[in-house]
Structure 1
Amino acid sequence: LVREISGAAAEFTDTGEGSRALGKAFANRNALLVVDDVWDAGHARAFDVAGEGARLLLTTRDSAVLTAVGATDEPIERLSEEAALALLAEWSGTRAERLPEAASDVARECGYLPLALSVAGARVRDGASWEDVLEALEQGRLEFLDHPYASVFGSLRLSVDALPDDERARYLELAVFPEDVQVPESVVLRLWRQTGGMDAVAARDLLARLKSKALLERGSDGERRFVTLHDLQHDFVRLLVNDLPAVHANLLDALAAELPVTDEAGSAWHLLPPDEPYPWLHLGDHLVSAGRREEFRELLLDPRWLEAKLRAVGMSALLSDFTAFPHDPDLAEVVATLRLCSHVVSKHPEQLSSQLLARLLDTDRETVRGTLSRVAPEGVWLRPLTASLPRERGLIRTLSGHSGSVSAVAITPDGRQALSASWDQTLKLWDLESGAELRTLSGHSGWVWAVAISPDGRQALSASNDQTLKLWDLESGAELRILSGHSGWVNAVAITPDGRQALSASDNLTLKLWELESGAELRTLRGNSGLVSAVAITPDGRQALSASDDRTLKLWDLESGAELRTVSGHSGPVNAVAISPDGRQALSASGDRTLKLWDLESGREIAIFSADALVLCCAVTPDGKTIVAGDALGRLHFLRIEGLPPSNRPGSDSP
């Protein structure tokens, strides 16, 4: 309803969230919201969100619902005798003025209720006499004496008893379907093929006959035909059907019979047709009703089912499955995780596996760990190596000493030292083994935004908002030279693999290539429409990739300074970039809260991971298999690249 009113995508994790969204959708609208056939006061309250210009109309046969929400009760009278006789005439195929006196008795016995009148009239049209119908109704009234709608049940019994035994059995099997649900004809046809051996033509003919007897309704949404039962018809078939759990089992067998054959372990329910919502929405109900509750529980611990259902019918429907197990601690942990990541996976179901791992890898629940061990999505994806999203990991040590925010850090090639850059206008060199501060490099007159260390580990280059870069000797801490030329803040810097050149990125929308030995500016790279925030150089030193606030990455030829390609796909500023050791893939971190993996040769996006906050930085390990990314909430995400073809896999020996 929210989607229809607002035109925006709507996905909720609980009723309260949906109610609030509905209230916003109805704000400042003059509208009448009609909610039909309400039996639960909580359901009514969920829709009681209309603004001053809107009104809520509830229909119910339980006045307590109206009292609970403070609604005004407006009773609806039953049909008058004249209107009841007109309806009987229509369904019986008799002109109203030619109805016999017994028709008035039939109308009275039907309680002047439209459904009972329709069924009774259809029975007369099919050849029964008015007197026989009246007698059957009187018998039905006695049979269903304790039911408030005994007249309706009596009328239904009249028509159902007149069906041949096999057709009667098929009709009563409709009790297997939930109340107030439009059941696809295709699902009914599968059930009847399973239970009665009926082909599609015979099944559709039976549905047509049942409709003509007012025993069900058929409709279409433009794409699919469906079958519905009035709630009293549904109550009636539920009352008379034999062995309802067996019918549920038959329906499950009918659905399973059309699943593709697979060598995968476990059930194949995740292979249900993705374009047929009914089985996805109601499979759990049928499993529980068939006495296969444990199978349903196992399904909710199967990552294949979770992702497949998410793709087919959305997060709200997936979360509703878990209500069948309100006190299961394993499922409680899974559903809590789904709620946490719903904002990501509702839009990107392919990220469900990485989200589950990133939030649950350190769980102490053995069953949930078993679930995670079965995570194996198709295609390229980023596998988290730690539970970086929901829980903090162990801290080894904190390096303290800066008097301002720390904006960047680089580690020496031997892994023993680190150099940090700060808004306090200094850099600090640290011993990683002990955490000791070795020296402070001072000289900038503005915040130090970025730092890079030369391949031999002897020198470092820093970038500052004082519009300069400075080259330092790490052994002595001496400033070797200043690189000047940018007319804006210098945001990032990278050194070529041979250590001879450096590339800097600036707020003035440009990059500059420098010769480190002389400090000479070699060329300026232009093309971005926003500040350039990050830069990385390919392992062969021939190309560079820049990231910008204009939401793009650009690939450059360093020899000529030519722009080779623009890579687009982020919806927010790109904050950081890294290139895999083999130079085939690139990684970008963005203010749109995503981390994206790209194929450098084609510029194609090949994998994505969404965090809960802006992704500020990223790096690839030397073996090219693991990614580390940091977000604005201070968390590190460890992800493994999986699913790449061998020719594109980091560390592959393929040419």
Structure 2
Amino acid sequence: MANTAQSIIPTTTPVRAFEAHEGTICAVALFRDRQRMVTGSKDMTLRLWNLKSGTVSKIMKGHRSWVQCVVVSRDGQWMVSCDLHGVLIIWNGETGEHLGRPFQAHNKWIRWMSLSPDGMMLATGSSDMTTKIWNTENWKPQGNPIDCGSEVFCVRYSPSGGLLAIATIKDIQIWDARTRKCIANFKAHARHSNIIYDIAVNTRGTLIASASHDNHVRLWRLSDRQTIAIFEHVGYVFRVTFSVDGKHIISGGDDKRVSKWAIPENALPNSRVSRHP
């Protein structure tokens, strides 16, 4: 079992604390201009922040349940947030005002959203067992919902935009983002013994990492759907991502640690999947 981790030494004092919400903060997104940040909370509001001054520019109201996730467009002109009731709200990225009316995107809790790298499509995954793709120009659904067969916990576009990874309560599904065909299915829970909270696809489109309630991160090879490494936390693992150079995995969870894991060298030379540039 691969289990060598380099823990990232925490900074004992934050550079700045942003305090304003009246409930747990569930979502954070930064603007590319590095001047603004938006946060979403169980207090059913979002707040638009000025990062330089540390002040709230706008309190954004409209949700009737807690805000689960928020995404910012590449140009910073709009934001989209989702909640436990399956509602999406589009906001002006500059003013924090509504862009149109809130709309019912799913029948149940939207657990996660992922924006395609070109910013043209937004994927939403829900407890209603579907993933939907939305055209961000008109906010109309792009094709029929993807029937995932089970409650969806996470959706992620690959860095290239060619793949859409979906984690359900039963498995990990890899879809061709263009053809909307499922190209791989990992029966993750035959190995992961509990809920998968997060997934990530490496830049080359060859490896998938999953973070689970079973205290483990698993590294999967897409070509043969095999587990090639297991990394162990002391507690649930909620988030996982690949490093920029593609040689490490970063994960964080209930053990209050952020850990950096080395990907086995024999996994790194794999060629990328040619049909997903």
Give the aligned partner of residue 514 of structure 1. Answer: 134
CA distance in 2, matches of 1:521, 1:411: 26
1:450/1:464 contact within 8 Å kept = yes
Q: Does residue 618 of structure 1 match 2:247? A: no
Q: Does residue 413 of structure 1 match 2:32? A: yes
Give the CA RMSD over aligned residues.
2.5
Q: CA deviation at 1:432?
A: 4.3
Give the aligned partner of residue 532 of structure 1. Answer: 152
Q: CA deviation at 1:571?
A: 1.1
Give the aligned partner of residue 394 of structure 1. Answer: 12
Give the aligned partner of residue 580 of structure 1. Answer: 202
When residues 419 and 586 of structure 1 are mapped into structure 2, their CA distance, relative to the original with a 3 A threshold, is: farther
When residues 442 and 630 of structure 1 are mapped into structure 2, their CA distance, relative to the original with a 3 A threshold, is: farther
CA distance in 2, matches of 1:458, 1:627: 31
Q: Which amino acid aligns with 2:111?
A: N
Helix, strand or coil for the counterpart of 2:76? coil
CA distance in 1, matches of 2:54, 2:270: 38
1:524/1:561 contact within 8 Å kept = no
CA distance in 2, matches of 1:602, 1:412: 37
CA distance in 2, matches of 1:614, 1:459: 33
Give the aligned partner of residue 176 of structure 2. Answer: 557
Identity of aligned residues (%): 27
1:595-621 Cα distance to aligned partner (Å, 9 max, x none): 122223332222221111111122334
Residue pairs, 1:153-552, within 5 angstroms: 348=1, 350-351=2-3, 353-354=4-5, 384=6, 386-387=8-9, 392-396=10-14, 397-432=16-51, 435-481=54-100, 482-522=102-142, 523-529=144-150, 531-550=151-170, 552=171
Q: CA deviation at 1:414?
A: 4.4
When residues 615 and 433 of structure 1 are mapped into structure 2, their CA distance, relative to the original with a 3 A threshold, is: farther
When residues 516 and 417 of structure 1 are mapped into structure 2, their CA distance, relative to the original with a 3 A threshold, is: same
Number of matched pairs? 267
When residues 562 and 649 of structure 1 are mapped into structure 2, their CA distance, relative to the original with a 3 A threshold, is: closer
Give the aligned partner of residue 598 of structure 1. Answer: 220
CA distance in 2, matches of 1:645, 1:443: 46
Residue pairs, 1:24-173, within 5 angstroms: none
Scaled by the length of structure 1, the TM-score of the pair is 0.38
CA distance in 2, matches of 1:562, 1:470: 28
1:554-582 Cα distance to aligned partner (Å, 9 max, x none): 11123343222211231110011122233
Q: Structure 2, unaligned stretches of length 5 or more?
A: none
2:233/2:255 contact within 8 Å kept = no
Q: Which amino acid aligns with 1:484?
A: Q
2:229/2:264 contact within 8 Å kept = no
Q: CA deviation at 1:553?
A: 1.0
Q: CA deviation at 1:541?
A: 2.1
1:193-233 Cα distance to aligned partner (Å, 9 max, x none): xxxxxxxxxxxxxxxxxxxxxxxxxxxxxxxxxxxxxxxxx
CA distance in 2, matches of 1:386, 1:600: 28
Scaled by the length of structure 2, the TM-score of the pair is 0.85
User: Which has the larger share of strand?
Assistant: 2
User: Which has the larger share of helix?
Assistant: 1
1:549/1:575 contact within 8 Å kept = no
* RCO higher in structure (CA 8 A, sep ≥6): 2
Larger radius of gyration: 1
Helix, strand or coil for the counterpart of 2:269? helix
2:158/2:200 contact within 8 Å kept = no
Helix, strand or coil for the counterpart of 1:471? strand
Give the aligned partner of residue 253 of structure 2. Answer: 631
Helix, strand or coil for the counterpart of 1:477? coil
